[in-house]
Amino acid sequence: MLAGAAMVAPATLAAPRIGRTQEPIRWRMQTYAGAALGEEVTKPIVDYINEAADGEMEIELFFADQIVPTGELFQALQRGTIDMVHSDDDSMASPTPVRQFGGYFPFATKHILDVPVLFEQYGLGDIWRSEYEKVGVTWLSSAGQDPCNFNTKKEITSLADLDGLKLYTFPTAGRFLAQFGVVPVNIPYEDAEVAVQTGELDGMAWSGITEDYTVGWANVTDYFLTNNISGAWIGSIFANQGRWADLPDHLKQLVMAGIKAADTYRNQWYWGGEARLRATGDKLELRTVPAEEWAEVENAAKAFWKEIAQEGEIEAKIVGIFEEYNSVINQAGPPYTF
> How distant is the alpha carbon of residue 207 from its chain centre?
11
Specify the pLDDT at position 11.
Answer: 38
The per-residue pLDDT for 22 is 83
Domain residue limits at 177: 149-231+281-332
Question: Are residues 171 and 157 part of one domain?
Answer: yes
Does 215 lie in the same domain as 202? yes
Quick one: 122 and 222 in the same domain? no
Mapping DSSP to helix (H, G, I), strand (E, B) and coil, where does residue 92 land?
A: coil
Distance of alpha carbon 60 from alpha carbon 72, whole angstroms: 19
Contacts of 130 (CB under 8 A, 6+ apart): none
Distance CA 126, CA 253 (A): 19
Q: Is 42 exposed, middle or buried (0-12, 13-18, 19+ CB in 10 A)?
A: buried
Q: How far apart are CA 273 and CA 210, in angstroms?
A: 5
Task: Give the chain's domain count.
Answer: 2
Q: What values do phi and psi take at 178, rounded to 5?
A: -60, -30
Model pLDDT, residue 21: 54
292 and 185 assigned to the same domain = yes
The answer on 306 and 191 residing in a single domain is yes
Q: How high is the pLDDT of residue 338?
A: 75
> Is position 89 within any domain?
yes
129 and 239: one domain? yes
**Same domain, yes or no: 188 and 102:** no
Q: Is there a domain that residue 18 lies in?
A: no
Give a yes or no: residue 5 inside a domain.
no
Q: 54 and 99 in one domain?
A: yes
Are 140 and 271 in a shared domain?
yes
Domain containing residue 37: CATH number = 3.40.190.170
80-119 confidence digits (pLDDT tens): 999 999 999 999 999 999 999 999 999 999 999 999 999 9
291 in a domain, yes or no?
yes
User: Looking at the structure, do residues 55 and 84 belong to the same domain, yes or no?
Assistant: yes
Question: pLDDT value at position 20?
Answer: 53
For residues 211 and 157, state if they share a domain.
yes
pTM equals 0.91
The gap from C-alpha 20 to its chain's centroid, in whole angstroms, comes to 36
User: Rounded to whole angstroms, how far apart are CA atoms 248 and 52?
Assistant: 15
Q: Give 26's DSSP letter.
A: E
Is residue 158 domain-resident?
Answer: yes
Q: Is residue 171 part of a domain?
A: yes
CA dihedral defined by 116, 53, 84, 215, rounded to 10 degrees? Answer: 70
C-beta separation of 23 from 57 below 8 A: no
Length of the chain: 338
In the predicted model, residues of the chain with pLDDT beneath 50 are 1-19
Residues 49 and 192 in one domain: no
